[in-house]
Amino acid sequence: MLTAGYALLFYAATALLLGGLAHKVRQYARAPVPLKIPIMPAPTTKSGVVWRMAREVALFESLFKSCKWTWLFGWMFHAALLLVVLRHLRYFTEPVWGWVVLLQPFGLYAGFAMLAGLGGLWLRRLAVERVRYITGPSDHLMLALLAGIAVTGFAMRYVARTDITALKAFVLGLIYFDWQPIPAEPLLLLHLGLVAALMIVFPFSKLLHAPGVFFSPARNQADDTRTRRHLASRLERAGR
């Protein structure tokens, strides 16, 4: 019963996450770009744009220009989250890939960096008057969700260890449609429940900044209007 519930929950969450993201990405990709609006100075070539976007996505270059504290906490959180997610790949493959094995200790430390980053960002939301003003309930909720996932994860390691062999069997069972019982441990159930919730809210929330950043014309356009004519195809076809 519990196993079926969680299995169905994760199938639904995965479907919503992928379906929702696909819908959004399609919407972004299909919307015409009427004009060239890169923030200058901008690269004049496509490869220059790729380099600019890479710096933006990997290093948060613009945020660094804006505010060092927000950058520090934000970058720390995202980089750590990446490591933590990679560390969890060990639950999804059998045998575990070599580089995932090597990554395990780093992924664990990253968990602490992730919590510290979240804490810093949350503190900013409360302490800086301007940021407090623009913060809504959903912003707190998102932080709570992520912090909840991290805290329950740590609790399973340091407070009440969970049966990770059984957990892995459950996860692999989901992938191969051969359901295995989920360990009925409250911390684990909470951890997984929060992860499913995060997956579900992803395409309906500000987490859309993840695909969005790649579609931002201010950053992904080249400065080449004097050499290459820009046409917004749909507008042009409509004869405007």
Partner 1 sequence: MADFEVPTLDEVPRVPRLVEGAMRHSRPFAAAPEHQEALGFPGQLVEDWHDKAIEKFGEILDRSRPLRVYMDACVKCGACTDKCHYFLGTGDPKNMPVARQDLLRKVYRRYFTPAGKWLPWLVGAEDLTEEVLDEWYSYFHQCSQCRRCSVYCPYGIDTAEFSMAAREIMDHIGKGQKYCNEILGKVHQIGNNLGLPAPALANTLEGLEEDIEEETGVKVRLPLDEAGAEVLLVTPSADFFAEPHVDGLIGYAKVFHQAGVSWTISSYASEAANFAMFIGSYEQMKKVAERIRKAALELGVKRIVVGECGHAWRVAYSFWDTLAGPFDFLDPNYPVPQHICEFTYDLIQRGELTLDKSANDHMTLTFHDSCNVARGSRMGDAPGGQFEIPRAIIKACCNNFVDMAADTIREATFCCGGGGGLLTDDLMELRVKGAQPRMQALKQVADAQGVTHMAAICAICKSQFAKVMPEYGFAMDAIVSVHQLVSNAIVLDGQKTT
Q: What are the residues binding partner 1 (CB under 8 A)?
A: 24, 27-28, 31-37, 39-44, 56, 60, 62-63, 65-67, 70, 74, 124, 128-131, 133-139, 141, 204-206, 208-209, 212-213, 215-219, 223, 225-226, 229-232, 234-235, 240
CB of 148 to partner 1, least distance (A): 17
Kindly calculate the radius of gyration of the chain based on its CA atoms and give it in whole angstroms.
Answer: 21
Nearer to partner 1, 178 or 240 (CB): 240
Nearer to partner 1, 131 or 164 (CB): 131
CA 4 vs CA 11, 12, 177, 179, 220: distances in Å: 10, 12, 11, 8, 44
CB of 54 to partner 1, least distance (A): 14
CB of 87 to partner 1, least distance (A): 24
CA 131 vs CA 43, 70, 122, 126, 204: distances in Å: 32, 11, 10, 8, 22
CB of 177 to partner 1, least distance (A): 29
Degrees, nearest 5: CA angle 182-92-104: 105
CB of 205 to partner 1, least distance (A): 7
Any residues with CB less than 8 A from the CB of 151 and at least 6 apart, and which? Answer: 115
* Cβ-count burial 178-191 (b if 16+ within 10 Å, e if not): eebebbebebbbbb
Nearer to partner 1, 95 or 137 (CB): 137
Nearer to partner 1, 50 or 101 (CB): 50
Any residues with CB less than 8 A from the CB of 215 and at least 6 apart, and which? Answer: 28, 29
Nearer to partner 1, 166 or 213 (CB): 213
80 with 110: CB under 8 angstroms?
Answer: yes
Amino acid identity at 72: L
CB of 240 to partner 1, least distance (A): 7
